[in-house]
């Protein structure tokens, strides 16, 4: 499934960017950028794979850790040019949640065949990296309002799973789920 693979790389990269932006807001050094980028980028998928009992994705596929490192370095040298790092962090976070809610549900469904487990996996894949980032960096974003994060992840995971059950092609289900999660999260950012 190339679209799902693309979502996975994109999700890791944008979540890594949010971790690096959190490091930038805390004025950490390059090591702090690398650390928060990696934890945020691969944290959710790590928990998903450990709970599913399958090999952890970034141990099997060696591209993910370097992706996080490259993103951290780019943000380290570029973040000061951004007008509002916090706003950028939140919008990238919305993209990451949308990508990972679909990716997590797709992997959960592929491994277990259970729609309920698929939805739960989409939700935890999408939210856990951001929770780790905010706990480690002391950011209030996720922890103060977990409902919006969880709602967006739930929308994405549930619609992907329903689309799959309804027999839609995987890319169509993925796009529907991605759009739903992004609209819920983005709407809360824009109007909440």
Contact criterion met (CB below 8 Å) for 71 and 16 = yes
Q: How far is the CB of 119 from a copy of itself (least distance, A)?
A: 9
Give the dihedral of Cα atoms 138, 142, 143, 149; nearest 10 deg.
-170
Q: How far is the CB of 80 from a copy of itself (least distance, A)?
A: 18
Could you tell me the maximum CA-CA distance found in the chain, to the nearest angstrom? 48
Contact criterion met (CB below 8 Å) for 94 and 189 = yes
Q: Is 54 helix (H, G, I), strand (E, B) or coil?
A: coil
Site residues (CB under 8 A) for a copy of itself, limited to 120-159: 120, 123, 131, 135-136, 138, 143, 146-147, 150-151, 154
Site string for a copy of itself, 34-73 (x = CB under 8 A): xx--x-------x---xxxx-xx-xx--x--xx-------
CA distances from 160 to 39, 46, 99, 171 (A): 26, 21, 11, 9
Binding residues vs a copy of itself (CB under 8 A): 28-29, 31-32, 34-35, 38, 46, 50-53, 55-56, 58-59, 62, 65-66, 112, 114, 116-117, 120, 123, 131, 135-136, 138, 143, 146-147, 150-151, 154
């Amino acid at each position: 499934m190339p679209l799902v693979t693309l979502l996975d790389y994109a999700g890791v990269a944008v979540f890594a960017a949010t971790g690096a932006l959190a490091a930038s807001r805390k004025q950490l050094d390059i090591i702090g950028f690398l650390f928060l980028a990696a934890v945020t980028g691969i944290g959710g998928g790590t928990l998903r794979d450990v709970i599913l009992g399958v090999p952890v994705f970034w141990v099997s596929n060696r591209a993910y850790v370097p992706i996080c490192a490259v993103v951290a370095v780019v943000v380290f040298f570029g973040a000061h040019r951004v007008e509002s790092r916090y706003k950028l962090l939140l919008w990238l976070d919305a993209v990451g949640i949308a990508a990972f809610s679909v990716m997590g549900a797709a992997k959960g469904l592929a491994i277990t065949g259970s729609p309920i487990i698929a939805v739960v996996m989409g939700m935890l894949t999408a939210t856990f990296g951001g929770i780790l980032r905010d706990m480690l960096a002391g950011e209030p974003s996720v922890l103060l309002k977990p409902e919006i994060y969880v709602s967006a992840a739930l929308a994405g995971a549930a619609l992907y799973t329903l689309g799959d059950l309804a027999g839609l092609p995987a890319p169509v289900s993925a796009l529907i789920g991605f759009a739903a999660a992004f609209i819920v999260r983005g709407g809360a950012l824009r109007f909440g």
